[in-house]
Amino acid sequence: MMPPEPKELHVDTAAGPVVAITDLRKSFGSREVLKGIDLDVAPGEVVCVIGPSGSGKSTLLRCVNQLEVATSGTVTVLGTETTDPDVDIDAVRQKVGMVFQQFNLFTHQTVLENCTIAQRRVLRRTRAEAEAIARTNLANVGLEDRGNALPSQLSGGQQQRVAIARALSMDPELMLFDEPTSALDPELVGDVLSVMRTLAENGMTMIVVTHEMAFAREVADRVVFMDDGMIVEQGPPEQVIGAPEHARTRSFLERVL
Ligand code: ADP
Ligand code: MG
């Protein structure tokens, strides 16, 4: 295998951002949980979002593909402003893969079916074409021989890798991960992180909400620390995790490291 190229080569700062978020606010009832988020993500960039439970990380991620509707502010994904009510959100969502803490696989369908349904229904691929693409992606996550299994016959780590293969089978231009390893037994975390690391090395643009500080340190181009609905600080991992400026970041890291 070819050694991975240095990551910097993949971050294309000259091209327009894949994600551009401006003064994003989100309230649930009277409670504002995102209090003015500004965040741009460049092509090929890997942004890890860290922060305490309840700080708004999932809500931020869900606003990117409009699983939550912003209260105000703008979110632009791949050049399309998704916060514009007239926009065809399905066209944008097709290009954005999302992987959740709970794998959300279709439990009554095989691994291969899980990885082909959306390809066939949304992208109108033929069965043969969809299956070939699914098999390639299953092989890339180390599950080439599990296509006929049901999700319940797999470990949590294998199920999460199926969820990643399923998302990749749609040829996404952006991948969103929301604590993809938090529901896993510790011994199963490594395989999932390793798949994500390879994806990052191959140039995928990724926003990853995670508590895995070693992963963030090694794989992130940028770490964003959120607290109480705001970005408190952001920068390269060696800065935000290695030498945080803010007391809130330091106290969070003391708790998780
Ligand atoms: P994190 O992912 O950082 O733990 P979340 O984005 O899930 O934080 O949640 C931020 C805050 O918003 C929390 O206080 C949570 O209870 C609240 N919240 C999230 N989703 C909803 C919802 N659908 N309705 C009401 N409150 C919500
Ligand atoms: Mg969350």
The finding on whether 69 has its CB within 6 A of some atom of ligand 1 is no
**For ligand 1, atom 27, which residue shows the shortest CA distance?**
28
Could you report the per-residue pLDDT of 5-36, keeping only the tens digit for each?
445 556 776 778 999 999 999 999 999 999 99
Q: State how far the alpha carbon of 181 is from the alpha carbons of 70, 78, 113, 185, 219, in Å.
A: 27, 27, 23, 8, 15
Pairing of strands 72-77, 19-28: antiparallel
For residue 58, the CA-to-ligand 2 centroid distance in Å is 4
The finding on whether 56 has its CB within 6 A of some atom of ligand 1 is yes
Which numbered atom of ligand 1 lies nearest the CA of 68?
23
Looking at residue 70, the DSSP 8-state letter turns out to be -
Could you report the per-residue pLDDT of 65-78, keeping only the tens digit for each?
899 999 999 999 99
CA 232 to chain CA centroid, nearest Å:
20
Q: Find the distance separating the first CA and the last CA of the chain, reported in whole Å.
A: 33
Could you report the per-residue pLDDT of 121-169, keeping only the tens digit for each?
999 999 999 999 999 999 999 999 999 999 999 999 999 999 999 999 9
For residue 102, the CA-to-ligand 2 centroid distance in Å is 11
The finding on whether 57 has its CB within 6 A of some atom of ligand 1 is yes
Q: What is the pTM of this model?
A: 0.94
The finding on whether 210 has its CB within 6 A of some atom of ligand 1 is no
For residue 107, the CA-to-ligand 1 centroid distance in Å is 26
The finding on whether 30 has its CB within 6 A of some atom of ligand 1 is no
